[in-house]
Amino acid sequence: MKLDSRLMAIANLVRKDKVFADIGTDHAYLPVYLVEKGIINKAIAADLRIGPLENAKDAVVSYGFTEQIQLRLSDGLDNFKENEVEEIAVAGMGGLLISQFIERTNWIKNEDVHLILQPMTHVEELRKTLFDNGFVIDEEVVAEDDDKLYIILSVYYYNDATAYTELDLIVGKLPQNEDNLSKKYLSRIYEKFNKKLVALKNAEKECSELEKLVGELKQWQQ
């Protein structure tokens, strides 16, 4: 199984020998790869819909991993029991949907559970949900496929609300990273907010808050 850079970056964060859940698995690429590489030996590939689960079944059967990888219909983590899995990936979905899964799944508030989240949108809102619910982001990674950048959050429950600023929600842990993709991602954030600022200024609208924020983001301009 060959993974693209985005899924490979997620796979690289999975802890060895844990029970793994892939939420919104579609073709079960992640669990198949992880079992094939011997990183995990037991996984649950879950999806909301039958069609993607059929795709997952085809992959699991063709790789001969029916003993190791179970298939499950589940809306988010709703159809999972407490202590069933310790390593959970949620990838390729919107950040608001991922936030909903987090808010309504109490059993993931456990220090032994590791979440690996790859939101396609609304990463700021997802960070806010995590912080407000007692989770900490221990690492953020940027991956690139076809000139599109993806962000991946590695998250644990910490049982404490993290204090954060607006800037923290926007840039997350990325300023700690030394790699070029993180720098490129930060530079794109700067460009996005600067564009908004220019538009507001051209329309002669109030923009002092945004101006301050863009001033802080400017350090990552490339």
Ligand X SMILES: C[S@@+](CC[C@H](N)C(=O)[O-])C[C@H]1O[C@@H](n2cnc3c(N)ncnc32)[C@H](O)[C@@H]1O
Binding positions for ligand X, rule: CB under 6 A = 7, 23-26, 47-49, 52, 75-76, 91-93
**Smallest gap, in angstroms, from Cβ of residue 105 to ligand X?**
11
Which residue lies nearer to ligand X by CB, 76 or 95?
76
Alpha helix (H) ranges present in 71-154? 95-104, 123-132
CA angle, 120 then 125 then 126, to 5°:
65
Min dist. Cβ of residue 126 to ligand X (A): 15
**Judged by CB, which is closer to ligand X: 75, or 144?**
75
User: Which CB sits closer to ligand X, 68 or 99?
Assistant: 99
Looking at beta carbons only, is 26 or 87 nearer to ligand X?
A: 26
What sections of 64-143 are H helices per DSSP? 95-104, 123-132
Residue at token pair 């995990």: 40
Distance CA 125, CA 116 (A): 16
CA distances from 36 to 25, 31, 40, 68 (A): 16, 8, 8, 10
User: Cβ of residue 92: shortest distance to ligand X, in angstroms?
Assistant: 3
CB of 52 to ligand X, least distance (A): 4
In the complex with ligand X, which residue's Cβ is closer, 75 or 216? 75
CB of 136 to ligand X, least distance (A): 23
Pairwise CA distance, residues 191 & 206, whole Å:
19
